Structure 1
């Protein structure tokens, strides 16, 4: 039981009791309230009397209140098991987006905001940032374009792009495809997975259904001994959601057209202008330099993997005429085989030490020690109390969801921080990757009282079985730690306005805090503290482990040091290929968003560009290598690339540029002692707490005590600078 000071949160958690009708009705009420506030400002204020207090503050306070409901209204489409709720959430989000476009193009409000900017009032730094950002936002939303056909066209484009984004993600969330395989075709795939799959009937008698969800997809690509099985699965997965292909193309063309209406050379120039990089040239130079440095390493890695493939095929007596090709569907398989053979790394064995729930507990303890936090899981009767006369199930959206109240520890004042939710297992209609969703931002209300945030991790880890709990591969441990990093950023942020709360930073910085925390997953002491062999969780699990392993005596409770050593030795194995994969995504993103003319954008064959660039950059072959016609249209990977429709457009490079900042922060401050609580708290207050309320480069400089450097980044990658 939690200490008494952490028992009663001062703010109730949100309820998840919406109906399809209430989602739409509530949305319309939010929009009507906001519109009235904007109308009242225009009616009561003139350019001569406009001030921050009477013009921007009422809208900012309304934005705060709107976010408390609007984020959750849109969240249902990512997590609800009910189609009607997901559809209503989608409809509501479209209404909100349309209203957002309408608001962002109100010339009457913009005129007053412009007057406030010209007045040069003495404002606190965050209010000044809000004023400048809002002013620029109006211009970037078309109000720098003279009223008339072009501005009208810009507004049409904005609305259509909003629709595309919503439907693109909806298609991904509701994707439920897969393939029927015989047991023989799945030779080598872990038995735990195969026995959990749906059994076929009728014409599929003797087969099992393998979905494209990550817990099915990745283990099969890693372990299936038959190359044909891996190829069939890989290519089919690249062709899921093909209904998104025309949507992606339309989005690229509309973005380019909109950027040119605003006077930019292309969409990339428009998007990057207000990021840390500032210009597409800075991004292209960074990516080009990185490609040049990584390419030789990638070639060497492929040569070693090809040797392994040739040896493997020879040992198995296989001659399928592919020994000289290293295919996209080969990589996870031979990468895993290399780790096992050359580094004695048994991923399945390592996973035994990372049951999901004990791993989460261990991670939260690290965050407690590092940042001065306390996490208290809310269960049973405590849920009932917080439901305020309702049912405990009202404060979560699904029975699998865990909820924690988060507090400052005594050293930080024992105050309430917010709510953390964990939704960890796949289900139909659910968001298919791993992500952090802000449910309710924090801010200071009109009475000077703090409103506390609520944030959710939505992941897709394998479900527990009667014989085993959910077990995390090491890369899944890293993923969970990364997403929890976003969640902590969201929780500990302290901003006046919700606009700047938590992860609301520029895209080429937002990943840095989470990427930095990934280093804790490669630190021996932290790995050992996170580990807890699943056979120690219950007598049933212990008995099942003994039967499966054939071991009569108990295994060690924590992961042995030799296993940790083997794991850490693999951190940079095939690292060039991993980073070249990221480079492909980043360079494809830039390629489609910086054409020299709109005519060039229209001529661009996006599918061929995606596949050809991947081959050129990653150096891995696809089906085109088996086709004498060299056909690059075999798959539509861009149709599954939610990032480029969901906010990372002309911004995917941020995953790599953020790595520069994250590595610099870790090497400079934490590498010598990752559990330095004093530095952890300084990081919390200097970086995480600020959210987007301050220029991100200034935040970095404040923490590092100097300008950021690329030295640690290249050193970590083993590349000379």
Structure 2
């Protein structure tokens, strides 16, 4: 039972009781209402009489109401176990996207927006930003193109790109492939995983089914001794969604055509114009400089890893000619082996100290202390009390989901903040990566009342078993902290309009707040406070640990100093190769969105570009190294790359460029004292609270007291001048 003051939030959580039919009915209702609002404005308001209050605000208020329902309607396709519900969610999103395109190209509404802008009435800063963003979005949506065949073509392209995006992500979510392996082929893979795999029957008798889901894929790539097993798994994983290959190619071709119709030289120029970088050249120069600085380190790391591989193969009596190559499917295996041999980093041992449940609890305590928050898990009768139906199951979409009410602490005024959901385990049809989804944004409604946000963390960690809880490797702890960082950004944002709420910032800034919080996962005191050996969770787990480990005495409850030291010491081991991997994604993204001409993108072999660019940048060999013809068509990694279809197009560089800002913030403000609550609260109110309601650079400058610098970023990577 929650403490009394937390039992009755001022806003009920959303319900998740939709049916396939209700999703479509609700979507049509939302569209009809929104179209009615726009029709009414055009009917009642002339350009001469248009003001922010009568021409802009009604649409903004309707956008707020639309988001409260539309985000959840689209969310079902990422998390529902019901195929029909997922399909209906996909169909509903298509309707919403089509309506968004229609609305964004209404010339009659645009004339009123343009009239309001030209009057230059004095507005509050966030309202002025809304007006300017709205005005520019109409132009970017095609109203800068004269009415006629070209504008019609632009509209058709927008609709097709929406279809491609929805289908591409649906294919990824629905992907249910895998491979059959014998136990011998999985030698070295942790017993916990192997014992949990589905056992084959009939023609697959004696084999085990390994999926491409992260809890299966990554441990096998890290631990399987057989290079053939790792290679087979790697290549098949790159080809798991080949139905997306033509969709990806069509998307980049259509984006280029649309950008040229708008008068831009390419899609990158169109997209980056509104980001912090402003120009593709700024991005290209940044990525090029980073590549130059990282390349020597990458070569040195490969040389050391290749020596380790040669030694390993020699010790195992393997002489198959592969010792002269360092392959893509070698890297996770030998990276792990190097950390174990040279740095005594035993990820399996470390994971014992990070059970998912206690790690989350520890993270939430850190956020409480830093940002002045209180997290209260809603369970049992409290769930029933908050559900309109009296059934607590109605306020979550799956039995595994945890829900928290979030409040300000006493110093922050004890007000309600919003709802946080955690959906942490894989299942069929679920979104396959780790991400934060806004379910309902916050805003101020037309009566001046605050609407509170709801946000969901969706991940794919290993499920608990009777012998072990879900245990997190250190990199998974970092991932969890990162995504929770997006969730906190979403929760504490306090904007007037939902348009600017939370993580609705430019793409080359949005990752910075979460990346900054990753630093807490490399701080000894915080690692210690997050840790809690799983054998202390229950007598059953204690007995299981004793039986599996053969240890007669219990381990320490908190992670020992020597393990913390081994984690910290490995932070930058093979760091150049990690960042070169990110660089490959960023430079591939720019290459397909910055062609010299439209003919160039039409003629581009996207698969060859993806694989060849990866080799050229990272220097890791793929199957092409074994092919005398140098065939680059062995895999289609771009078809599994949801980011470039889901909003990071001509923006993936943001994962690297935002590290400049995140590292600068951490080094300048938090490195000396990561748990400085005064600075944490200042960060909350200066940066996170503002969402996208102000220029992101001005937020950074306010927080840092100066313009951001690249010095800390390059220093952290060990490549400063």
Deviations 1:253-300 (A, max 9, x none): 000000000000000000000000000000000000000000000000
2:711–2:720: 8 Å Cα contact kept in structure 1?
Answer: no
In structure 1, distance between residues paired with 2:247 and 2:377: 42
Indicate the residue corresponding to 2:288 in structure 1. 288
- Name the CA distance, whole Å, in 1 between partners of 2:439 and 2:204: 42
Matched residue SS, 2:329: coil
**Do 1:264 and 1:270's aligned partners in 2 also have CA atoms closer than 8 Å?**
yes
C-alpha offsets along residues 538-563 of structure 1, whole Å, 9 cap, x if unaligned? 11100110111110011000000010
- 1 CA distance for matches of 2:720 and 2:67? 46
Q: Distance in 1 between matches of 2:697 and 2:180?
A: 51
Structure 2 Cα separation of the partners of residues 720 and 523 of structure 1 = 22
Kindly indicate whether the alpha-carbon contact (under 8 Å) linking 2:2 and 2:378 is maintained by their aligned counterparts in 1: no
Number of the residue aligned with 1:368: 368
Counterpart residue number, 1:267: 267
Q: What residue number does 1:590 align with?
A: 590
SS at match of 1:113: helix
C-alpha separation between the residues in 2 aligned to 1:41 and 1:60? 12
Counterpart of 1:315?
A: 315
2-structure distance, mates of 1:227, 1:78: 34
**3-state SS, counterpart of residue 322 of structure 2:** coil
**Match of 2:571?**
571
Unaligned 5+ segments in structure 2 are: none
Cα drift, residue 220 of structure 1: 0.1
Question: Where do 1:123-134 residues align within 5 Å?
Answer: 123-134=123-134
Cα pair 2:435 2:459 within 8 Å, conserved: yes
Partner of 1:695: 695
Map of 2:620 onto structure 1 = 620
| TM-score, normalised by the number of residues in structure 1 | 1.00
List per-residue Cα deviations over 1:109-151 (Å, max 9, x = no partner). 0000000000001000000000000000000000000000000
Could you say which residue in structure 2 is the equivalent of 1:81?
81
Show CA shifts across 1:452-484 (max 9, x none). 000000000000011000000000000000000
Q: What does residue 514 of structure 2 align with?
A: 514
CA deviation after TM superposition for structure 1 residue 610, in Å:
0.0
Alpha-carbon distance between aligned partners in 2 of 1:614 and 1:557, rounded to the nearest angstrom:
43
Tell me the distance in 1 between the aligned counterparts of 2:640 and 2:320.
30
- Residues of 1 paired with 2:135 and 2:568: CA distance? 49
Structure 1 distance, partners of 2:387, 2:344, is: 50
Residue deviations 1:483-503 (CA, integer Å, cap 9, x gap): 000000000000000000000
Shift of 1:6: 1.6
- Conservation of the 8 A alpha-carbon contact between 1:434 and 1:483: yes
Alignment partners' CA distance in 1, 2:51 and 2:314: 78
SS of 1:243's equivalent?
A: helix
Q: Which region of structure 1 is more displaced relative to structure 2, 381-390 or 694-703?
A: 381-390
Residue 216 of structure 2: aligned partner:
216
Q: How does 1:458-497 map to 2 (within 5 A)?
A: 458-497=458-497
Q: C-alpha distance in 1, partners of 2:265/2:141? A: 16
- TM-superposition CA deviations, 1:659-691 (whole Å, max 9, x none): 000000000000000000000000000000000
1:391 to partner: Cα distance: 1.0
CA distance in 2, matches of 1:538, 1:109: 63
Paired residues of 1:515 and 1:659 also in contact (CA < 8 A)? yes
CA distance in 1, matches of 2:16, 2:265: 45
* 1:320 Cα offset (Å): 1.2
Q: Secondary structure at the match of 1:555?
A: coil
In 2, distance between residues paired with 1:566 and 1:432?
30
Match of 2:194 in 1: 194
Are 1:5 and 1:414, in contact at CA under 8 Å, matched by a contact in 2?
Answer: no
1:342 and 2:342 matched: yes
Task: Give the Cα separation in 1 of the matches to 2:325 and 2:490.
Answer: 45
C-alpha contact (below 8 Å) 1:406/1:419 kept by paired residues:
yes
Superposed CA deviations along residues 514-566 of structure 1, whole A, max 9, x for unmatched, are 00000000000000000000000011100110111110011000000010001
Distance 2:431 2:219 in 1: 20
Question: 2:645 corresponds to which residue?
Answer: 645
| Pairwise CA distance, 1:583 | 0.0
1:3 is displaced (CA, Å) by 2.9
Residues 110 and 138 in structure 1, CA contact (< 8 A), matched pair in contact too: yes
- SS of the residue corresponding to residue 465 of structure 1 reads coil
What do you get for the CA RMSD once the two structures are aligned? 0.4
Please state how far the C-alpha of 1:342 moved relative to its aligned partner: 0.1
CA distance in 1, matches of 2:279, 2:140: 16
What is the SS of the residue equivalent to 1:656?
Answer: helix
Q: What is the Cα deviation at residue 7 of structure 1?
A: 1.7
State the alpha-carbon separation in 2 of the partners of residues 519 and 139 from structure 1.
40
**Counterparts of 1:348 and 1:369 in 2: how far apart (Å)?**
30
Matched with 1:427 is: 427
> Aligned equivalents of 1:476 and 1:596: distance in 2?
40
Q: Distance in 2 between matches of 1:389 and 1:474?
A: 41
Judge which range, 164-173 or 381-390, deviates more: 381-390
Gaps of 5+ in 1: none
Give, in angstroms, the shift of residue 2 of structure 1: 3.3
For 2:340 and 2:126, how far apart are their aligned partners in 1? 52
Corresponding residue of 2:39: 39
- Please name the residue that 1:13 is paired with: 13
Look up the SS of the partner of 1:180 in the other structure.
strand
Q: Distance in 1 between the 2:5 and 2:713 partners?
A: 43
